[in-house]
Amino acid sequence: MNDTKKIMILGAGNTVFPLIEQAKKRGLVTIVVSPPGDYKGLDIADYQVHCDFCDTETVLKYAKHYAIDGIACTGTDIVVPTIARVVDDLSLHGVGYKTAITCSDKWLMKQALIQHGVMTARGLLCDSPDELELAAESVGFPLMSKAVDSSGSQGVFRVDRIEELHEAWESSKQASSSGRVVLEQYLEGLEFGAQVVIEGNQVKAIFLHNDQLTPPPDHAPVGHSIPCCLSPEQQARSRAEIIAAINALGIRDTVSNVDLMLVGNTPFIIEIGARMGATRLPETVSIYGDFNAYDCVLSLALGESVSVSDVSQGVPNASRLIESPRDGVIQEIRVPDIVRLHPNLHELSVYVKPGDSVRRFRVGPDRIGDVIVTGPSATEAERLAAKLAAMIEIVLV
């Protein structure tokens, strides 16, 4: 009898490839679900299932066919409800369907957090343009217009005055698969995040990290660093709020991505994903925590105990996305030796090649590569990562 465990992974692109790669290193049988396309994760999969991520019935059929032992993803919210349905139907380890739906809907999430006394921004669901001005008056300017069910900062805009409201609302609505928009109180403060390791329903480790974002109106993450710059008291309060939010939503057996805002000394939960973060956050926390975050996701999905601690002081590091200056077609990417050979460069990745069409960076999926560096402090690592990323020349036609 073959006792090799089988893991189903949803996604095969750049964000998910390291998860598939780690599963292969572990000797797991990999069943990779993805629409057909030039996705490098498909090339190393043991078995491929070509279908839409939201085609729950097809994914469930193949999960039963292959008698999988676990199912996992990383970096995207869109697949979480499908995974949860499989988890519930096959009694696997992971987030249940009710929790997945709540975490994939900003309005449902906000209601759950408020009901459990978790600090979060107030907001209103606004489905009709006729309700816009009254809703905005109730929330107050500035405010955030958010598609309730998007990820990767898509459909999220800051609105400073009434003249900008209708355009932002329409853009958010177009980014929402359900056409629903929440208008939310704008929190003025320091935005940061966390990757949270949850085994069963117990929080085992919380890795707080610094976030670098684009200016309004997009507010998209372009980099991360660790250790977090918050004071010990602010970190303690943040950890308590995160645990309360995890319990309120019922997230279990995963690594969870949390977005927070520090207003004064008070941490507010912005959003929580029932999956691990993207834009190289797994690598950032892995370097600092001296563990493999992708391996952790796999173990949790398979019901295995994980050994990870957020107590020790690890290596400060930072990641930074490589951006295209405008829309166009790649002619050449020039990486100077001073970047390629820099002693603090941990990893350099380029996801595009000559002939590929690219967009000026607006949201996470627009990135064309990234750098990860180490440094004596998070701040110095941030500066170096930004400097090296800026030195990479993108030639467009």
| CA–CA distance, 99 with 208 (Å, rounded to integer) | 23
Place of tokens 């950032």: 284
Q: With the C-alpha atoms ordered 41, 325, 383, 363, is the resulting torsion angle positive or negative?
A: negative
What residues contact 192, with CB distance under 8 A and at least 6 apart? 208, 209, 210, 211, 228, 229, 230, 238, 260, 261, 262
> What percent of the chain has a predicted confidence (pLDDT) above 70?
98
Tell me: the pLDDT tens digits for 182-232?
999 999 999 999 999 999 999 999 999 999 988 876 678 899 999 999 999
Taking residues 148-159, what's their average pLDDT?
Answer: 82
Do residues 248 and 116 touch, judged by C-beta distance below 8 A?
Answer: yes
pLDDT in tens, 6-15: 999 999 999 9
152, pLDDT greater than 90: no
Other Cβ atoms within 10 Å of 156 Cβ, number: 24
Domains along the chain with CATH numbers: 6-103 (3.40.50.20), 122-185 (3.30.1490.20), 316-397 (3.30.470.20)
Distance CA 162, CA 137 (A): 9
| DSSP label at residue 128 | S
Beta strands in 6-164 (DSSP E): 6-10, 29-34, 47-50, 70-72, 123-125, 143-147, 156-159
pTM: 0.93
Mean pLDDT on 319-341:
96
Q: Tell me: pLDDT of 177 over 90.
A: no
Task: Enter the tokens of residue 203.
Answer: 């929080």
SS3 of 335-390: the string is CCHHHHCCCCEEEEEECCCCCCEECECCCHHHCCEEEEEECCCHHHHHHHHHHHHH
Mean pLDDT over each residue of the chain, to the nearest integer: 94
